[in-house]
């Protein structure tokens, strides 16, 4: 393939992956605490081209080499359930899964009959002391904006709210969880709202615009591929022709 066709084809592939990300964002419009993924376009220079002295001349392919997660705040929806907690601002709850700790912004907790504070998947929620939070299942639960859990006016536990370290990114685990990064998390100041849930930060209007943009860019690139194949055909059929 010549450079023109390859670059356009690479751009088409990148737009397909953009559509994959967009489709997932749209599908999760109703998942509490979901944060949208956005594509990050880069250019690809083959390793040899990058190291050659005149590296500006090689074909440069647009590729999506990573996605970034937009951690913008989702809107808070009141639910009236005392075990629903929304995070305002930065931070994550820590859930203890059988395979280790996980992070989540989905604060739709429940209380097991044994008094464990759990996520929807039955993972225990971690307190600031590093242990699962244990409450008295028979008493009402009050959660302050600082993350203190009070029962009968007494401090029963403190929710562990952590934030990602500056410059690091989190990978998504699925089921509204993020993987706990190996280099640990930073302590975050908690700002909670009991009886509310954070909605997904997906914006329908923006997504509609992005959908159209992706579609039109794809169309342009498809024209470019068609154009270049047409040019190649003309080269083969006309330039090589000796007599008219």
Instruction: List residues binding other proteins (CB under 8 A).
Output: 12, 15-17, 19-32, 34, 37, 45, 47, 50-51, 64-68, 79-81, 83, 106, 108, 110-115, 120-121, 137-140, 152, 169, 171-176, 204, 207-208, 211, 214-215, 218-219, 222, 225-226, 229
Which is nearer to other proteins, 87 or 225 (by Cβ)? 225
Which is nearer to other proteins, 189 or 235 (by Cβ)? 235
Which is nearer to other proteins, 205 or 239 (by Cβ)? 205
109: exposed, middle or buried (Cβ count in 10 Å: 0-12, 13-18, 19+): buried
Min CB(55)–other proteins separation in Å: 11
Min CB(243)–other proteins separation in Å: 28
What is the distance, to the nearest Å, from the Cα of residue 85 to the centroid of all Cα atoms in its chain? 20
Helices (H), the chain: 3-27, 47-51, 204-234
Phi, psi of 122 (to 5 degrees): 85, 10
Min CB(242)–other proteins separation in Å: 27
Which is nearer to other proteins, 15 or 126 (by Cβ)? 15
Which is nearer to other proteins, 20 or 163 (by Cβ)? 20
Min CB(241)–other proteins separation in Å: 22
Min CB(30)–other proteins separation in Å: 5
Min CB(133)–other proteins separation in Å: 13
Q: E strands along the chain, which residues? A: 37-44, 61-69, 76-78, 85-87, 92-97, 100-104, 110-111, 117-118, 124-125, 142-143, 148-151, 154-158, 161-163, 172-174, 177-179, 186-187, 192-194, 196-198
CA-to-CA distance for 197 and 107, rounded, in angstroms? 6
Which is nearer to other proteins, 216 or 235 (by Cβ)? 216
99: exposed, middle or buried (Cβ count in 10 Å: 0-12, 13-18, 19+): exposed
């Amino acid at each position: 393939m010549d450079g023109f066709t390859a670059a356009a084809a690479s751009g088409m592939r990148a737009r397909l992956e953009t559509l994959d990300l967009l489709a997932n964002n749209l599908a999760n419009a109703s998942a509490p605490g979901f944060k949208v993924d956005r594509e990050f376009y880069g250019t690809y220079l083959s390793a040899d081209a990058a190291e050659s002295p005149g590296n500006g001349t090689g074909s440069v392919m647009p590729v999506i080499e990573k996605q970034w997660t937009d951690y913008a705040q989702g809107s808070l929806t009141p639910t009236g359930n005392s075990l629903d907690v929304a995070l305002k601002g930065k931070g994550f709850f820590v859930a203890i899964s059988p395979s280790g700790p996980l992070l989540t912004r989905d604060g739709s907790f429940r209380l097991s009959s044994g008094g464990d504070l759990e996520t929807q998947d039955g993972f225990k929620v971690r307190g600031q002391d590093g242990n699962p939070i244990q409450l008295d299942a028979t008493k009402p639960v009050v959660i302050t904006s600082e993350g203190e859990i009070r029962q009968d006016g007494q401090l029963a536990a403190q929710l562990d709210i952590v934030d990602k370290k500056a410059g690091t990114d989190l990978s998504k685990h699925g089921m509204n969880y993020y993987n706990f990064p190996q280099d640990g998390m930073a302590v975050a100041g908690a700002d909670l709202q009991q009886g509310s849930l954070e909605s997904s930060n997906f914006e329908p209007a923006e997504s509609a615009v992005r959908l159209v943009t992706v579609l039109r860019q794809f169309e342009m690139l498809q024209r470019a591929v068609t154009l270049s194949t047409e040019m190649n055909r003309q080269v083969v059929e006309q330039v090589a022709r000796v007599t008219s």
